[in-house]
Amino acid sequence: MADSASDSAATMAESAQLYAVVADSGRQFTVREGQELEVAFRHVPAGEEIVFDRVLAVNKEGAMTLGTPVVEGASVKAEVLGVKQGDKIYVQKFRRRKNYRRRTGHRELVTRVRVASIQAG
C-alpha cells in the first residue's frame, strides 16, 4: 500500500515541475530543463544557442498555461550539442508478378540540443 502512495507522490512531484510543449518543423516536443533531444537539422555550430518561439503550452508548478495557438512571451532556449545522422529508413518498391523489387534507404541529419531554460511568458 505504501508503494502506491509513494508512486503517486512521485508522479505528482514530477507533474509539478516546469515543462513546455514546443512546435518545431511540424513536430511537437514536451521539454524539460536539462533534457536532450533531436530536432530537425539546422546549420548551427555546436555550442550556439537556439530559441524555440512556438511554445504551445507551459506547466509551471502545476499551473498549465495553454496558448491560442501559442503562449505569448514564452520561449525555450536550447544549446546545440552537434549534428548526427538519424535512424536509417528503408523504402521498398514491389510490383507483383513482374519480378520487380527495389530497396533503398536514407538517413536524415538531425541536430542534438540540450534545453537550457524555459521562459514562461
The band of 121, judged by pLDDT with boundaries at 50, 70 and 90, is confident
DSSP type of residue 116:
E
Instruction: List the grid coordinates of 101.
Output: 523489387
Please state the domain extents for the chain.
Answer: 2-120
DSSP type of residue 105:
E
Q: pLDDT tens digit string along 1-36? A: 455 555 555 554 554 589 999 999 999 999 999 999
Q: 15 by DSSP, 3-state: which? A: helix
Residue of 55, 110, 107 whose CA lies nearest to 81: 110
Phi-psi region of 6 (alpha: psi -120 to 50; beta: other; left: phi over 0): alpha
The band of 61, judged by pLDDT with boundaries at 50, 70 and 90, is confident
Q: pLDDT tens digit string along 13-22? A: 554 589 999 9
Q: Could you tell me the end-to-end alpha-carbon distance of the chain, in angstroms, rounded to an integer?
A: 40
CA 15 to chain centre: 17
Instruction: List the grid coordinates of 50.
Output: 537556439
